[in-house]
A and B are shown apart, each in its own frame.
Chain A
Amino acid sequence: MRLQLASVVAMLSLTATAHADGAVSVRGVYYKERATRVVQPMLDGTFDVGTKGIVTAHFLVDAITSASASSGADNAMPFTENRYEGGASYTHELDSLRLSGSAKYSTESDYISMFAGIRGELDLAQKNAVLGLGIGVSRDTISAGSAQGLATPMIECESGMSKTECPLATTAVFASASQILSKNAVVAITYDVSGLKGYQANPYRTALADDGIAPERHPNWRLRQAVAGSLRYYYPRSQTTFIGAYRFYRDNWDINAHTPEVRVIQAVGRTADAAVRYRYHSQDKAVFYRDRYSSTDITVNRYLSDDVKLDTFTGHLLEAKLGILGEAFGMSGHWAGARFEGILEYVRQQNRFGNAIIAHVALTVPFDY
């Protein structure tokens, strides 16, 4: 992995031009829930290219251990595997317009995903308003067996059609608008719609019915949409930023979800900031989801699911975050602007996944070249 990270750094350095700015960020994340433990080291880079271009790139590894391949399932076999992801984007500024293109590739033993997208942002009213519009497409390939250490079995991509690999195609459109309200307040709204066509079940999970168990059968078409809004307000006297956000989600599987969130960020002198966040999530269940089905017969129950993500549940997230600049430790030069960051999250979720803890440590170092 060290060699791969070094390769990415070397590749990124080739894009460098003289007297430009950039930043490199190294982050490590630890995630632990009842049946899954994830360690994710990641590397992010941002580089100026010329006077109007910005390149970003990232590389990460998901090291998943002691998890069940059938995410969220009871009595599943434990396994260990790695997921590798790399991505890059380029943004070009044209007066009041910014155009960007991005691509991402992710691979693990039983899931490969490729994404490409374009996005435009337009500044209006002396940059007091920004409108954004983007589109992205992804092509995923899902298989089964590798994570279980077995020969790849057949999975039912569609009713009556079994293969060793199943495709999933996603097309998404994103729209956004933000508006400055005053010298201390800004509001933003986003709307996302995505259509997913292809295999959307988990090949390792089985659904329970009165007459036995059977592999999951999910619909092959899903239309998801979400509207989200946020308001940021800065209170100068105490140097405190208040952020409130709300997201409403619905899809054609009849899941409706409400997710409000509040964040408070407090500046501590010039060189540090502390933040707390609370996020609440509540969702309905998918129209076809049952804890236990009457029959596995497709003529009785066309769809079967053991995915607890599709059930009704509520969740709470509490987060504490601390960021400190290198200047606070007496560092100089580029290191004075380096940012050390630590995050601790606790997730309380009332379903089979159980509660979770998440911890981040990160270091971001600015530089010029």
Chain B
Amino acid sequence: MWPRTTRDMVLASVRYLTTLVIVMAISASGCVVVKAHERGNLAKRSMTNDRDAGETRFGQHATGSREGADGGTGQPGGGCGCN
């Protein structure tokens, strides 16, 4: 009946962050370079951010009120009143 210890979770966080740092390092190495004039397709709405701020915000709010697994969106929740 006791939740998992914070120590275990912090260690898990460190592992995730380490993995992310490795991914970031690979990204930062610039192993693939697409020049600016070749990015026409990448600049399209569907390839950058196909969801408006309001759509994303409501989606996060609805998900947070129905599911016990919030997060992973890069933005915090809060102010819901639907714990």
Residues of B contacting A125 in the complex (Cβ-Cβ under 8 angstroms):
27-30, 33
Complex partner residue of B20 from A177, A200, A201, A263, CB under 8 angstroms: A177
Since A85-B79, A181-B32 are in contact, a sample of 14 more A-B pairs with Cβ atoms closer than 8 Å, ordered by chain A residue number, is A111-B80, A125-B27, A127-B36, A129-B27, A183-B38, A192-B72, A219-B3, A241-B44, A249-B71, A252-B8, A257-B69, A301-B1, A343-B55, A358-B58
Taking the closest CB of chain A, its distance from the CB of B42, in whole angstroms, is: 6
Chain B CB within 8 A of A51 CB: no
Q: How far is the CA of A83 from the CA of B61 in the complex (A)?
A: 12
Total A-B pairs, Cβ < 8 A:
254
Which residues of chain B from 60 to 80 have a CB within 8 Å of any chain A CB?
62, 65-76, 78-80
A225 touches B13 (CB 8 A): yes
Q: How far is the CA of A294 from the CA of B33 in the complex (A)?
A: 61
A138 touches B78 (CB 8 A): yes
How many residues of A are counted as interface, with CB atoms below 8 angstroms from the partner's CB atoms? 114
Residues of A contacting B6 in the complex (Cβ-Cβ under 8 angstroms):
221, 223, 252
B69 touches A259 (CB 8 A): yes
B12 touches A129 (CB 8 A): no
Could you list some 20 contacts between A and B, CB below 8 A? A106-B79, A112-B79, A124-B27, A125-B28, A125-B33, A127-B36, A174-B74, A179-B27, A183-B39, A200-B83, A223-B6, A225-B9, A247-B72, A281-B67, A287-B1, A287-B3, A309-B66, A310-B68, A349-B66, A362-B54
Residues of B contacting A113 in the complex (Cβ-Cβ under 8 angstroms):
78-80
Chain B CB within 8 A of A276 CB: no
Residues of A contacting B30 in the complex (Cβ-Cβ under 8 angstroms):
124-126, 128-129
B50 touches A241 (CB 8 A): yes
* Binding site secondary structure of chain B: loop
Contact with A along B1-36 (1 / 0, CB 8 A): 111111011101100110010011011111011111
B54 touches A71 (CB 8 A): no
A283 touches B69 (CB 8 A): yes
B67 touches A142 (CB 8 A): no
| A residues adjacent to B (C-beta < 8 A) | 25, 27, 29, 31, 33, 40, 42, 44, 56, 58, 60, 71, 83, 85, 104-108, 110-113, 115, 117, 124-129, 131-132, 134, 136, 138, 140, 142, 170, 172, 174-184, 186, 189-194, 200-202, 219, 221-228, 232, 234, 236, 241, 243, 247-255, 257, 259, 263, 265, 267, 273, 275, 281, 283, 286-288, 301-303, 307, 309-311, 315, 341, 343, 347, 349, 353, 356, 358, 360, 362, 364
